[in-house]
Structure 1
């Protein structure tokens, strides 16, 4: 019997896949437990329409993320730390970086999207990675300068 999986089923397939299983397994386990539905013509057409719509949404989101990546990589943020005896005092936090991106460039980026970042407390140029999507990672340049 052909069924459409509603949830992932170990050793059989993932959600929205059409699989062939034995009649007894489908009738006694998959369908009553809500793991699958029978693959009728109507259900197959609904599945195809939904998958195409999701694919279009994903491609639209990918284009937006690529544009955002280009915009982020064109930015270089400058921060100042107080310096005494050639040693910087203070730190630059993710919250400060996100606030500056929002105020100056209108980019609302969540600080949890930054990949393994510690507070910046050294002078110089720092490269921070921002994970926008599963495959899209942007690099933000942050320049920390000293002031007396």
Structure 2
């Protein structure tokens, strides 16, 4: 039995995939739970149209992400922190701090998408990787200075 998945199903496929399943699994599990619909000619045409539309949207999003990544590479952020004797840092510099500094510059990026390369041990210039899109990343410079 061929079905079109309406939602992600573990070990079977993603939403919109056309898969072959056994009669019992399709009729007793997938169809009653609205996790799939039968793959009739009409449903296949609708699914293919949706798939094409989704691919175009994904391509546009990836292009926009590449442009944003190029613009972000030019950005440099300065983060003032407290430094004790011997040049040691009080606390740490995290993605949250970088996101807050970017927000002051008018760039809104989620803190979970920011990762600092290496360990921030004191004053200096560091790099932070920003995941703009699942396939596109950008690197910005982060300068840590004493307050």
The equivalent of 1:28 in structure 2 is: 28
CA contact 2:83–2:122 (8 Å) conserved in 1 = no
| 1:7 aligned counterpart, secondary structure | coil
Q: TM-score, normalised by structure 2?
A: 0.75
The equivalent of 1:3 in structure 2 is: 3
Distance change in 2, residues 1:26/1:116 (3 Å):
same
Distance change in 2, residues 1:2/1:89 (3 Å):
closer
Provide the rounded CA distance (Å) in 2 between the counterparts of 1:28 and 1:84.
Answer: 66
CA contact 2:102–2:108 (8 Å) conserved in 1 = yes
Q: Of the two, which has the highest radius of gyration?
A: 1
Q: CA deviation at 1:97?
A: 3.0
CA contact 1:94–1:119 (8 Å) conserved in 2 = no
Q: CA deviation at 1:40?
A: 1.4
The equivalent of 2:144 in structure 1 is: 144
Q: How many residues align?
A: 146
Matched, 1:100 2:101: yes
What is the RMSD computed on CA atoms of the aligned residues? 3.1
Q: How do 1:76-115 and structure 2 match up within 5 A?
A: 76-80=76-80, 87=87, 94-104=95-105, 106-115=106-115
Provide the rounded CA distance (Å) in 2 between the counterparts of 1:111 and 1:68.
Answer: 17
Q: CA deviation at 1:125?
A: 0.8
Give unpaired runs (5+ residues) of structure 1.
Answer: none
Q: TM-score, normalised by structure 1?
A: 0.75
